[in-house]
Amino acid sequence: MTAKPEAGHSGHDSTAVADRAPSRAPAVQLRGAQLSYGTRVLWDGLDLDVEPGEFLAVLGPNGSGKTSLLRVLLGLQPLSSGSVKVAGAPAHRGSARIGYIPQQRAVDATLTVRGRDLVGFGLDGHHWGMGIRQRRERRRRVDDALRAVDATAYAKMPLGLLSGGEQQRLRVAQALVSDPAVLLCDEPLLSLDIAHQRKVSRLISQQARDAGAAVLFVTHELNPVLPLVDRVLYLVGGRFRIGTPDEVMNSETLSELYGTRIEVARVGGRLVVSGVDEEGCHVHEAEQA
Ligand SMILES: Nc1ncnc2c1ncn2[C@@H]1O[C@H](COP(=O)(O)OP(=O)(O)OP(=O)(O)O)[C@@H](O)[C@H]1O
C-alpha cells in the first residue's frame, strides 16, 4: 500500500528555508513521482521540492528506496511515473550541477588511480579550457578540496592502497570540488572516524548554508546531523512522510508509518527511537529485550 504525505508535510514548509531563498526555483523537484520494480512499489505520489540551501535527511529501512531516489536524481534510474527536475532541468546523466558521494564500497586493491585524479574527475563535464590559466585553476581547486578533507598527504597514492576512510574522504572531495548546486550524499559518514565525521558534516553543511546547494543526505543515523537538518523524508514499505524533524520524528507519525507502535523521545538533544533498529527496521519486542 502507498500513502501520500499529509497536508502540510509535503512541499517546503520550513520558514527558515523560505527566508533564505525567497525567489529561487527549487533545486530538486519531484511531482507525482513513482518508482516500481515489477509489481513492487518503492514509493508513489512523491511531491517534493528541495530548495537551494536546504538540508534534507532521507531515512528509512534497508530496501525502502533511498539510494534509488538518488539514482533517479542522477538520471541513472527512470521514474515509473511522474516527473523529476534537478537544477531546473529534467534529470539526466552526467549533470555538472550535481555532486555525489556514493555509498561506501570496497575498491579493488590493485586500483592504481591516484587520489588526486579521483578528485579531478569531479571537475570533468565542466567546461575547462586547456590554457595554462585554466590548468592552474583546475589544480588549485583539486588542492583546496584535498586540503578540506585532510587528504593532501596521501593524494598521490594509488586508491587501492588506501584505507576505507581515506578513500571515503576522497569521494567527499570529489563531490565538493565542482561547487555543486545539488549535493547527493549516500551514507557519507560511514567508515569515518569521529573527527572526520564532524569535518565532513561541516563541509556538507557549508555547501548548503554558504554556497546555497540543496543537500539530500541518506542516513540510518540522524543524530550526528540533526542540528543541520531542515526537513526529513522518511520512507517505509512504500509509504513516506515529509516534514521538519519534529513533525516526522515523533511517536505518532512513525507508528502510523510503520503500522506498529514506535516510541520516540528527545534525550539531551538526541532522538531515541524504540521499536526500530539502527538500520531503520521494525524490531519486535522480544528482539529488544
Ligand atoms: N534495478 C533494480 N531492479 C530491481 N530491483 C531493484 C533495482 N534496484 C534496486 N532494487 C531493489 O529496490 C529496493 C530498494 O533499493 P535501494 O538501494 O534504493 O534501498 P535503500 O533504501 O537505499 O536501502 P539500504 O538502506 O539497504 O541502502 C531493494 O530491495 C533493491 O533490491
- Minimum-distance ligand 1 atom for the alpha carbon of 235: 21
Percent of the chain with pLDDT over 90: 73
What number of other Cβ atoms are within 10 A of residue 94's Cβ? 9
The pLDDT of residue 280 is 62
Question: 265: buried, middle or exposed (CB in 10 Å: 19+, 13-18, 0-12)?
Answer: exposed
Which residue's alpha carbon is nearest to atom 11 within ligand 1?
63
Instruction: Output the residue whose Cα is nearest ligand 1's atom 24.
Output: 62
The alpha-helical segments, DSSP class H, found in the chain are 15-20, 66-73, 115-121, 132-148, 164-176, 194-209, 245-248, 251-258, 285-288
Name the residue with cell 573527527: 195
Protein residue with least CA distance to atom 8, ligand 1: 68
Please tell me the predicted confidence (pLDDT) of residue 104.
82
Tell which one of 68, 100, 184 to mutate to probe ligand 1, the residue whose CB is within 8 A of the most ligand atoms.
68
Residue 285 has pLDDT above 50, yes or no: no
Residue 65 Cβ inside 6 Å of ligand 1? The answer reads yes
| Average pLDDT, rounded, for the chain | 86
Ligand 1 center–CA 239 separation, angstroms: 15
pLDDT at residue 5 above 70?
no
Query: How do residues 31-75 score in pLDDT, each as one tens digit?
Result: 999 999 999 999 999 999 999 999 999 999 999 999 999 999 999
Question: Cα separation of 231 and 248, whole Å?
Answer: 9
CA distance 2 to 264: 23
Find out whether 46 and 242 touch, Cβ atoms under 8 Å. Answer: no
**Ligand 1: distance of its center to the CA of 89 in Å?**
25
Looking at residue 282, its pLDDT comes to 63
Instruction: Count other Cβ atoms within 10 Å, centred on residue 193.
Output: 10
Any idea where the domains of the chain sit in the sequence? 28-243
Measured CA to CA, the distance from residue 164 to residue 169 in angstroms comes to 9
Q: Which helix or strand (DSSP H or E) is residue 231 part of?
A: strand 231-236
Distance CA 245, CA 260 (A): 20
* Of 200, 214, 127, 202, nearest in space to 170 by CA: 200
Q: For the whole model, what pTM was predicted?
A: 0.87
Q: Which CATH number applies to 28-243?
A: 3.40.50.300
CB neighbours (10 Å) of residue 62?
9
Percent of the chain whose pLDDT exceeds 70: 85
Instruction: Report the residue among 66, 187, 239 best suited for mutation to probe ligand 1: largest number of ligand atoms under 8 A from its CB.
Output: 66
Asked if residue 42 has its Cβ within 6 Å of ligand 1, the reply is: yes
Instruction: Give the position, in ligand 1's atom list, of the atom nearest the Cα of 218.
Output: 22
Buried b vs exposed e over 11-49: b needs ≥16 C-beta within 10 Å? ebebeebeebbeeeebbbbbeebbbbeeeebbbbbbebb
**How far, in Å, is the centroid of ligand 1 from the Cα of 38?**
12
